[in-house]
Amino acid sequence: MTADTSKPIAAATTAQTEGKLKLPALTALVVSALVAAGVFSLPQNMASKAGAGAILIGWGITFVGMLMLAFVFQTLANRKSEIEGGVYGYARAGFGEYMGFNSAWGYWISAWIGNVSYYVVICSALGSFGALGFFGDGTTLSALIVSSILLWSLHFLICRGVQTAALLNLIGTIAKVVPLIMFIVLVALAFKVDTFKIDFWGNAKLGSVLDQVKGIMLVTTWVFIGIEGAAMYSGRAAKKSDVGKATMIGFFISILLFVAASVLSLGVLSQPELAELKNPSTAGVLAAAVGPWGAALMNIGLIVSVGAALLAWTLLSAETAYTAGKDGTMPKFLGKENAKKAPINALLLTNGLTQVFLIIAHFEQAGYLALLLLATSMILIPYFLSGLYALKVAVQKDGYKAGEGHAVTRDIIIGALATLYGAWLVYAAGLEYLLLSMILYAVGIAFYIWARKEKGAQIFKPVEVVLALLVVGAGVYASYLLSTGVLSLT
């Protein structure tokens, strides 16, 4: 008789995938990371910088650019499935240890500063209800206390295990999409073409069309931060092929919601009226369309949405530091797990720094928009390097088989467009936020040196010394401008 080996193989497969994230959970992480506070504030955030025409152009550029980035993450997930860590893993594989560290550092900081903005806006939404007016714009002392309680509640939830948190995130993602769909339907019914056409190309106060398009780039990029969410969890995915699928599904769901929310709002209130709304501005738009109950619906929707997004982004930010600590890109103490497989030290450091910035936001009165712009500026370099690495892989035909010439040509075009989009974002962000980001990148050098010494490896290569000196110089200069009031977080 021949031994039946099917059961041992099945058991081994089950053991390998037990506790791993499957396609629905990975997709939910992408959608939840994308569809968060940003979409609820899009009408005001966009209208404060541009008219309807420039907004449409901006979305067109963002659609192509972010689609290329989504393709980049899908392609690299398939061609370079052995690389873990997503954006920083690609940067390290393509451009060396120091650039890989900067990508991990920038992405990690972007994630937890973004979380600070979420706490601010969720308390601002609570403040819209009469009895809770003491929350104000989300930076009052009451808001700080409630944000801190929520922060550490999430911390202890995640400590119970990533799989448990991911399941709750899936439920939260489904729950928060419902009010957004209601918003889009109701605003579409209230849409007026004449209102939409008012100052279609903006006005003198907003500047040229190019200035307007540049002005909204950080906002459109902000709402798409998280497109790489599945790639960041590649090490915990049940199937590597699900990473690329989750990325593309999440992208198309999100782009439909984002464009509809921002463009349809311009047919309910004019650009100047939208620019004056308090965030979350979808509340003001729906109130104008259907009455006060619409504002209440959107504020409740934002609270549910941001609650789920906070869970997703706390997971993502801690996972970045954990994976980087585990493979030596960052100090190895960050790579420690607890008995529930949660990244305990990375989580503690991430949430500890989030707490510090919540306190800073309270004293500096740094609102949602200022925090999201700083968070977005930190992720521009990781995105640029991801596109550049995809281009490098395709040009060198690394991981391609003979006869895949068509795939190589396609991926060269995708990589080139993604790289150009990344460079455009750095330009559009402007010097102010680029300089502010350099302060945080300069601080990161100490962590990089720490990690390299732990590995007993050469700290810098000659070209990396030059890059590090440029970062430190820019960081010192930005610190001086910040101390003199030339630069500001508010």
What pLDDT band is residue 12 in, cutting at 50, 70 and 90? very low
Average of per-residue pLDDT across 156-160: 78
Q: Are 114 and 346 in contact (CB under 8 A)?
A: no
pLDDT above 60 (res 214):
yes
Q: What's the pLDDT at 489?
A: 63
Q: What are phi and psi of 339, to 5 degrees?
A: -65, -20
pLDDT, greater one: 473 or 378? 473
CA pair distance 131, 116, nearest whole angstrom: 24
**pLDDT one-digit tens code per residue, 72-100:** 888 887 788 788 777 888 899 989 899 99
Q: What angle do CA 66, 285, 61 make, to 5 degrees?
A: 20
Q: What's the pLDDT at 490?
A: 60
**pLDDT one-digit tens code per residue, 26-85:** 777 777 667 766 788 889 989 988 999 999 999 999 899 888 988 888 888 778 878 877
**pLDDT one-digit tens code per residue, 238-282:** 776 777 788 788 888 888 888 999 999 999 999 999 998 887 788
Other CB atoms within 10 Å distance of the CB of residue 282: 30
What pLDDT band is residue 185 in, cutting at 50, 70 and 90? very high
CA pair distance 165, 158, nearest whole angstrom: 6
> Is 21 in a helix, a strand, or coil?
strand
Q: Are 253 and 31 in contact (CB under 8 A)?
A: yes
Q: Are 386 and 77 in contact (CB under 8 A)?
A: no
pLDDT above 70 (res 298):
yes
Q: Taking Cα atoms as reference points, which of 288, 255, 275 lies closest to residue 187?
A: 288
Q: What's the pLDDT at 3?
A: 44
> Is 456 in a helix, a strand, or coil?
coil
Q: Are 472 and 449 in contact (CB under 8 A)?
A: no
Q: What's the pLDDT at 166?
A: 59
Q: What's the pLDDT at 392?
A: 94
pLDDT, greater one: 171 or 451? 451
Residue with the two structure tokens 């069309």: 209
Q: Taking Cα atoms as reference points, which of 124, 126, 32 lies closest to residue 366?
A: 124
What pLDDT band is residue 415 in, cutting at 50, 70 and 90? very high
> Is 237 in a helix, a strand, or coil?
strand
Lowest mean pLDDT among 202-211, 225-234, 285-294, 336-345: 225-234
Structure tokens of 139?
């930076």
Spell 405-423 as b/e; 16+ CB within 10 A means b: eeeeeebbebbbbbbbbbe
CA pair distance 351, 346, nearest whole angstrom: 9
Q: What's the pLDDT at 162?
A: 57
The domains of the chain, with CATH numbers, are 20-430 (1.20.1740.10)
Average of per-residue pLDDT across 404-418: 91
Work out the mean pLDDT of the chain and round it to a whole number.
82
> Amino acid identity of 18?
E
Q: What global pTM score does this model have?
A: 0.75
What pLDDT band is residue 472 in, cutting at 50, 70 and 90? very high
